[in-house]
């Protein structure tokens, strides 16, 4: 069976699962949730269309949504990750069922409103770093439906909020939305805890980018040199992200 056939079979299984266990919400409930999100954005001092930044933490099973205002990003909401695949560590090859770690970008072409997993956006794996290390894979997403074979799966209501805000930011002029995927929160204590792990060198490189954002509340410019991530100073304005 070819890769496309496998994906078609899995999509049908997911559709049946969702129809049984996650029936569609009434339109009134969906409208209420949208209104509650707008109220939260107002409290945080942002609005739909402001720049968006996303951080993912595997071990904690959390996805953070940040939005920009003036010269800083502010944390809007932390979502539970319903499911991800594999263990701590990067994705290495097609079919290893491992969710990726690293620095990714989402543009308008990455959005899929017709996803079999409710809604989705493609992380852009493999990125330049992954290709430099001969890592292979495709269709690594953040999506709904609460099931994963390599992606980061959210609840349907969660992906609706995320997708809508990412889409609004891109339509309003943000060229790409950065998504930073980490194995865990990159504290010094956690780095010490995993100091003997086979991927600690890779994770220390990820921590450099994590620390830039923690210090500035602006995502760094990310590039690859010598098979390592390199982080340049972030733009002075959130509009540059």
Enumerate the active-site residues. 143, 151
CA distances from 123 to 26, 27, 101, 139, 196 (A): 30, 29, 10, 8, 29
Residues in contact with 145: Cβ distance below 8 Å, sequence separation at least 6, in sequence order? 14, 17, 18, 22, 116, 117, 118, 153, 156
The strand order across the sheet containing 111-112 reads 111-112, 120-122, 141-143, 152-153
Looking at the chain, how many residues does it have? 241
Tokens of 178: 């950065």
Q: Where are the beta strands (DSSP E) in 51-126?
A: 52-57, 62-69, 72-80, 102-106, 111-112, 120-122
Q: How far apart are CA 75 and CA 77, in angstroms?
A: 6
């Amino acid at each position: 069976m070819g890769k496309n056939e496998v994906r078609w079979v899995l999509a049908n299984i997911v559709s049946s699962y969702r129809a049984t266990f996650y029936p569609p919400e009434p339109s009134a409930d969906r409208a209420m949730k949208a209104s509650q999100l707008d109220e939260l954005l107002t409290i945080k001092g942002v609005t739909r269309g402001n720049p968006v930044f996303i951080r993912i933490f595997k071990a904690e099973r959390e996805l953070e949504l940040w939005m920009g205002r003036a010269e800083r990003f502010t944390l809007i909401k932390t979502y539970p990750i319903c499911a991800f695949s594999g263990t701590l560590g990067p994705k290495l090859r097609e079919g290893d069922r491992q969710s990726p770690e690293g620095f990714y970008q989402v543009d308008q072409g990455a959005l899929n409103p017709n996803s079999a997993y409710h809604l989705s956006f493609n992380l852009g794996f493999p990125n330049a770093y992954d290709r430099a290390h001969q890592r292979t894979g495709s269709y690594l997403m953040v999506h709904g439906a609460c099931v994963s074979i390599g992606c980061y799966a959210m609840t349907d209501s969660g992906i609706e909020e995320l997708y809508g805000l990412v889409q609004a930011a891109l339509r309003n002029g943000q060229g790409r939305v950065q998504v930073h995927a980490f194995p865990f929160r990159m504290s010094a204590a956690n780095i010490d805890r995993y100091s003997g792990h086979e991927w600690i060198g890779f994770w220390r490189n990820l921590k450099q980018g994590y620390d830039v954002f923690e210090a500035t509340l602006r995502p760094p410019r990310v590039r690859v040199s010598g098979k390592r991530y390199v982080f340049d100073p972030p733009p002075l304005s959130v509009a540059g992200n």
